[in-house]
Structure 1
């Protein structure tokens, strides 16, 4: 598409300059769009996220129960004492709802076993469940 001058000089050579009017129009339309949509982007949903801490927990031992689940998903340890799943149900029924359950699982433990353990704790009214990691464990 060639542009030419419309003056009466009779020269029909093309114009060497860029026509800036279409670019300015596009920029003004984009500016108006951003002005209209900018207030919508500042609306945020407020979420109360828990704060993580690397400080050791200093609760008393009677308020805390450590359950360790081995990589096979079947071997359970109740405060370093091996128990089976049927004994676990009976022992969880004896705990108070204020007890904090600390779960420690191997990296290769199937999620199904861990979910089964958390469901059993929830059925017996334990709502405070913490996941224990050992210092020096590599991140996944």
Structure 2
């Protein structure tokens, strides 16, 4: 008996739901731009910093990072930091401060 009542009343209990569907646009979305090659930043055990396998002073890092950001602020390269476990924390702090001050958005750490 309950099943029959449910079958009879179920079609009555329907409610319309308003759904906002996406509309077709005349202008297609912009094409995705290929990201620039990543910057490989390595800090070795003797605290020497290398920018894409060429030695660089920590004082030059922020200037180089700013140059990379200014090339295309919306499509920045990824900064990949590979620090030796034997390197000093002070050097890593200087690298991260330079990246922050240069407004680098993509920062990653390489695991060994």
- What range is the shorter-chain TM-score in? 0.5 to 0.7
Deviations 1:76-129 (A, max 9, x none): 100001111232222111012422100001011112211110110010010211
What is the DSSP-based 3-state SS (H/G/I as helix, E as strand, rest coil) of the residue aligned with 1:112?
Answer: helix
List structure 1 segments (4+ residues) > 4 angstroms apart after TM superposition. none
What is the DSSP-based 3-state SS (H/G/I as helix, E as strand, rest coil) of the residue aligned with 2:94?
Answer: helix
Matching residue within 64, 80, 83 for 1:91: 64
What is the DSSP-based 3-state SS (H/G/I as helix, E as strand, rest coil) of the residue aligned with 1:95?
Answer: helix
Give the conservation status (yes or no) of the 8 Å contact 2:61–2:95: no
Task: Name the structure 1 match of 2:54.
Answer: 81
- Distance, in Å, in 1 between the alignment partners of 2:83 and 2:63 is 21
Question: Over aligned residues, Cα RMSD in angstroms?
Answer: 1.8
Residues 1:61 and 1:108: Cα distance change in structure 2 (over 3 Å): farther
Greater C-alpha radius of gyration: 1
Number of residue pairs the alignment of both structures matches: 74
1:115 aligns to 2:108 (yes or no): no
- When normalised by structure 2's length, the TM-score is 0.58
- Could you list the runs of 5+ residues in structure 2 that have no partner in the other structure? 1-33
Give the conservation status (yes or no) of the 8 Å contact 2:62–2:101: no
- Distance, in Å, in 1 between the alignment partners of 2:35 and 2:87 is 26
- Could you list the runs of 5+ residues in structure 1 that have no partner in the other structure? 1-59, 135-140
- Distance, in Å, in 1 between the alignment partners of 2:58 and 2:35 is 23
Deviations 1:11-64 (A, max 9, x none): xxxxxxxxxxxxxxxxxxxxxxxxxxxxxxxxxxxxxxxxxxxxxxxxx78341
- When normalised by structure 1's length, the TM-score is 0.47
